[in-house]
Amino acid sequence: MSKLSILSDYELTQLLKDGDRSAFTEIYDRYFWQLHAHAYKWMRNREETKDIIHELFLALWEKRETLSFEPSLLNYLSAAVRNRIFNVLSHKRIESAYITSLDSFINEGTCLTDHLVREKQLTEIIEHEISGMPYKMREVFELSRKENLSHKEIACQLNISELTVRKHVQHALKILRYKLGIYLILSFLMNT
């Protein structure tokens, strides 16, 4: 039992603000599992839950000098975890809706000639953007989207972590969203 374990949260936060790494470690040890249990109820994914908690503690350390822990440290940490969970879930919903609409657009079989031309152009743009991605990201993305493999299957096949797979897919989608957004805006402007 460390001497810091007997300190109150208020005393620990004061030491944390002064850059005391031991105080940070004590706060981490004191609240990690409690925050983890709360986040897991929402996420139902151990890796994503750990990521959320670790990102929270990283932000806590980086912003320690400017943070306010009123009314209490636990309230602050709980609210911060809840906000991070909502951000992740919101991002997943948006990502899912975007991919669904993109799949619907690409797979629609009753397009008119003009739509077929645009679909072909869009597919070429997507393929071009995918081919321009770094090798590992492209490989992971193609296994995910073209081969329909799960993150776990891709991780096993490529001998990398599921977290790395998820990060590659997220980054690839972000690149495509940006590039396709520009294309859609330009095509809209040309047609008006």
| Chain centre distance of CA 92 | 8
State the sign of the Cα–Cα–Cα–Cα dihedral 89, 137, 50, 54: negative
- What the chain holds in terms of domains, given with CATH numbers, is 3-89 (1.10.1740.10), 108-191 (1.10.10.10)
Query: What is residue 53's predicted lDDT score, i.e. its pLDDT?
Result: 93
Percent above pLDDT 70 for the chain: 86
Average pLDDT over residues 171-190: 72
Higher-confidence residue of 146 and 109: namely: 146
Per-residue confidence band for 108, with pLDDT thresholds at 50, 70 and 90: low
Average pLDDT over residues 150-173: 90
Quick: pLDDT tens for 48-97: 899 999 999 999 999 998 888 888 899 999 999 999 988 888 877 777 77
Q: What whole-number distance in Å separates Cα of residue 155 and Cα of residue 165?
A: 6
pTM beyond 0.85: the answer is: no
Could you tell me which of 139, 138, 166 has the C-alpha nearest to residue 151? 166
Per-residue confidence band for 24, with pLDDT thresholds at 50, 70 and 90: very high
Higher-confidence residue of 101 and 42: namely: 42
Query: What is residue 5's predicted lDDT score, i.e. its pLDDT?
Result: 84
